[in-house]
Chain A
Amino acid sequence: MAAMSPSKRRLQRELMSLVREPPPGVFVDGDEVGQNLTQWIVHMEGAKGTLYEGEQFQLQFKFSSKYPFDSPEVTFIGGNIPVHPHVYSNGHICLSILTDDWSPALSVQSVCLSIVSMLSSCKEKKRPPDNSFYVKTCNKNPKKTKWSYHDDSV
């Protein structure tokens, strides 16, 4: 077998650990990810006692060959995009660890945990104030958006 690239080797290890010991409310189908390690679907359910209890979500992770030095591209996909002040209706997520504050010491698991906690701490279900403008003009890849802090109250 040909030697795996460091990025593939790391993804393989992450996948195994996530399938074996997923964080609560997170589920990955190892076979579904299968051979194509560069694109994963992660299933997530709204935590009990939060505004999202009982809801099911799907997150798409895309990895470049520079992973883990480059952050993964993470978006919500499918029929149910959570209604949240940091989630645009096209599935883009406003979360600093996905761009500026990404570190190679983070992982798919830590991204999932951050997103679970982001959803869980939500007090009012609503879209970001600039949702319609953003969704109309943004690139398909959320990493191509230059995010900046603007609202500390949420």
Chain B
Amino acid sequence: MEDKRSPQWSSENTDVNQDELILQQQRRIEREISESIALVGEKESLISLELEYAKDEVYLAKTKVLGQKYSYIRRTRPDGNCFFRAFSYAYLERLIDNKEEYEKFRELALKSKDNLVALGFPQFTVEDFHDTFMEVIDKVGGDSEASRLELHKLFNEQGYSDYVVVYLRLITSGQLQREADFYQHFIEGDRTISEFCHQEVEPMYKESDHIHIIAMSTALGTGVRVRYMDRGAGTEVTAHDFPEGALPTVHLLYRPGHYDILYP
């Protein structure tokens, strides 16, 4: 826990405090992003993606291929939490129409708190997030149409939306630590699993990689298909299923640094 840090000075630093200027600018950019993009947007036709790439041949070709399998996209705010936010929205949306799976998931979510406390997470803070997580699940358990509206409303309220993100981050961290022997192989450098969790999983705004997705989907017992779209050769938009071989219940589009929701 103890740290070996010290302020980082730029070589030309004289009297002006560079740090502060950089951080100010960073905060301004963050604010601009968050003001312009909803936490979770409306469902849009995939045509909107084609329009976005009208002048970009590589992406346009790939978007057209994507359009053979998917009809809609729902965008999320690019704030580093987008994987967790996109996944939880899409998964709950699916559960609204599938009561059997909803009940199973609710059971699993209920028990998850004790698992986390048993792993050594502080009961006090875990409880706080778990309560809100369950509240969100319960609020989308009724009539389909009303639940859909409620889901959209809750996920665009920072209080609820971020609490859901935090709780999923904790579940992911819990899974990584429980199966540390297995996941250790995927960690680069000489960090332990628990260091990795403290630095890359539990803090907000830290982006998600394969390891986060594998651990989270395994912990929740569900499958995620991610479509990867980048500048690579070819027109295919490669699909990866997490965990490997699982039937996907949620489809996400990945473009470097960001996840959105896809619908067939």
Contacts and interface: CB of A to CB of B under 8 A. Distances in A.
A147 B2 CA distance: 14
Contacts of A137: 13, 15, 17
Given A137-B17, A144-B19, A146-B8, A95 B124 contact: no
Interface in A95-114: 95-97, 100-107, 109-110, 114
Contacts of A134: 6-7
A43 to B, nearest CB: 21
B162 A148 contact: no
A26 to B, nearest CB: 15
Interface stretch (B103-111, B196-204, B219-227, B229-237): B196-204
Nearest to B10: A146
A138 interface: yes
A132 interface: no
Interface in B58-96: none
Interface residues of A, number: 45
Interface string A76-109: 0000000000100000001111001111111101
A124 to B, nearest CB: 14
Nearest to A142: B7
Contact of B7 (A95, A145, A153): A145
Contacts, number: 117
Nearest to A68: B125
Interface of B: 1-9, 13, 15, 17, 19-20, 22-23, 121-122, 124-126, 128-129, 159, 162-163, 166, 169-170, 198-199, 202-204
A14 interface: yes
Contact of B202 (A105, A117, A148, A152): A105
Contacts of A102: 203
Interface centre among B2, B15, B19 (most CB of A within 10 A): B2
A153 B80 CA distance: 32
A129 B204 CA distance: 31
A104 B7 contact: no
